[in-house]
Structure 1
Amino acid sequence: MTLSELIAQFRTLAFDKVEPYLFDDDSVIGWLNEAVKEACIRGQLLHECDDVDICQIAIKAGQVKYPTHPQLYEITHASLELTSINGGKRTPVCLVSFEEMDKADRDWRDDQDKHRLDPYFLIQHDTYVRLSRPTDEIGVLHLEVYRLPHKMSNDDDVPEIHLAHHEHLIDWALHKAFGVPDSEVFDLNKSEMAEQRFTNYFGFRPDSDLRRITRHDVPHTVKPFWV
């Protein structure tokens, strides 16, 4: 569905087909763009491995911290391209958390020898990534990621997600529309029902703590203890 078709469908379901509209086009477009972003976050719908701006980071000698692209949401795979490793071939880098690095080696922040032969590790933060230690040469960090969508603005723009998902985006726009604190349009029941339909289809939004603890592959085990 194009953006204009989504807006028309929204107006049909919101009983807002007669001008002057209760909800202006700019607001509806904003809600629909927010819906696509919510869907991508909840369902991890956009996987990226080709966009150079998002998936490649230039590595500098002696530097460990690098900002990530604003559209990058979650890293699924990382590899390091350095001449000194495998003759310049990409070498997988293990994604870990600060907590896991501390468990493995509490002194890793101080032990920053560039010439060590053990593997590199990568820690993802909200807005940057950090190598476990600096390199002694330039290179490239290659990423495969889940990303956020591009915004729609033109009538013929289409959501980047699969066509099967498009009609369900309108539920989020209805949720936001009927949640506007205006006596003419506010309807808490309609707003909550639309949000629930959206959640039933795309799932719950992960909170920041859940995102943090799932950024690395750690076996989930039950640790026994004595009482």
Structure 2
Amino acid sequence: MRLKQMLEIFRAELGDVQEPYLWQDSELVYYLNQAVQEACERALLIEDRSTPAACHVAVQAGVDTYNLHPSVLKVKRASYEGRLLTETSIEAMDAESGNWEVRTGQPTRFILEAPVGGRAARLRLVPTPAAAGQVSLTVYRGALKLLQAQCLSDEPEVPVSLRDGLKHWVYRCALLKNDADTQNAVRASEHEGIFSGIFGIKVDANTARKRSDRQPPIVLCAW
């Protein structure tokens, strides 16, 4: 389903088919981009191991931390020069060794640092690489680019079978627009509930932080 068809459906179901429109195309597309991101964060819809910008990290000798592509939500798998890396945490490494941060060699583990403010997630290699190389990732991510109102032939980057469910977040946002002719908090809440039933409940920031802080299983290895 292309953007043009989706906008037609949105207007028909919102009862907004005659000009002047209550919602401009640019508003509906903005809500749709929000819907795609919400769905990807909740349900981890897009798994990717082939897009270079999101899945390949060029490693430099002596540099342990690398910014990931802004679309990356979670790292499912990581390997360095073909060798699998084990996910760990700062807490786990501190418990194992007091000087792990100053060690160098071939990386055997990685730490995923959560996004902070406007900064994207980061990948930290352990030990610090002694030579240049490449990390290959399998990630869950959001859309690589936003939909635009003038590009009506574009499609949302989510599975076709789930695209219809995106409309409920669009309607939720549309019905929260602060205008006497558009605002309907009750209906907005109903659509948010339907969206959550399809894609899962939103994880609040505190819960996400606790999950991020939870230590992965410690796997002992020889340095």
Q: Per-residue deviation at 1:61?
A: 0.8
Query: Partner letter of residue 148 of structure 1?
Result: G
CA offset digits 1:25-74 (Å, max 9, x no partner): 10001101111111111110100100111111111111111111111111
Q: TM-score, normalised by structure 1?
A: 0.85
Q: Contact 1:121 / 1:131 at 8 angstroms: preserved in 2?
A: yes
Deviation at 1:207, TM superposition (A): 3.1
Q: Secondary structure at the match of 1:137?
A: coil
Tell me whether 1:195 sits opposite 2:192 in the alignment: yes
Asked whether the 8 Å contact 1:75–1:215 carries over to 2, the reply is no
Identity %: 28
Q: Could you tell me which residue of structure 2 aligns to residue 59 of structure 1?
A: 59
- 2:183 aligned counterpart, secondary structure: coil
Q: CA RMSD in A?
A: 1.9
**Structure 1 residues 26 and 174: alpha-carbon distance in aligned structure 2, compared to 1, 3 A threshold:** same
Farther off after superposition, 128-137 or 67-76? 128-137
Following the alignment from structure 1 to structure 2, what is the Cα–Cα distance between the partners of residues 76 and 216?
16
Looking at CA atoms only, which structure, 1 or 2, has the larger radius of gyration? 1
CA–CA distance in structure 1, aligned partners of residues 138 and 207 of structure 2: 20
- Equivalent residues of 2:89, 2:216 under 8 A apart: no
Secondary structure at the aligned position of 1:181 is classed as: coil
| Structure 2: distance between partners of 1:218 and 1:133 | 17
1:123 aligns with 2:101: no
Alpha-carbon shift at residue 217 of structure 1 (Å): 7.7
Larger deviation, residues 168-177 vs 148-157: 148-157
Q: Secondary structure at the match of 1:186?
A: coil
- Which residue type is aligned with residue 103 of structure 2? D
1:18 aligns with 18
1:80 aligns with 2:77: no
Under a length normalisation based on structure 2, what TM-score does the superposition of the two structures give? 0.86
SS at match of 1:9: helix
CA distance in 2, matches of 1:151, 1:197: 24
Aligned-residue offset at 1:218: 3.5
Q: Which amino acid aligns with 2:197?
A: N
**In 2, are the aligned partners of 1:95 and 1:215 still within 8 Å (CA)?**
no
User: Unaligned 5+ residue runs, structure 2?
Assistant: 116-120, 218-223
1:2 to partner: Cα distance? 0.8
What is residue 104 of structure 2 aligned with on the other side?
A: 114
Shift of 1:24: 0.5
CA contact (8 A) 1:65 1:129 kept: yes
Cα 1:185–1:77 change in 2 (3 A) is same
CA distance in 1, matches of 2:168, 2:53: 32
Q: How does 1:135-214 map to 2 (within 5 A)?
A: 135-149=129-143, 150-153=145-148, 154-212=151-209, 213=211
Match of 1:223 in 2: none
Aligned length: 207
Match among 91, 105, 109 for residue 99 of structure 1: 91
Inter-partner Cα distance in structure 1 for 2:8 and 2:98: 58
CA deviations over 1:139-185 (Å, ceiling 9, x no partner): 00111100111322211111121221111111001000110111221
> How much does 1:104 deviate?
2.7
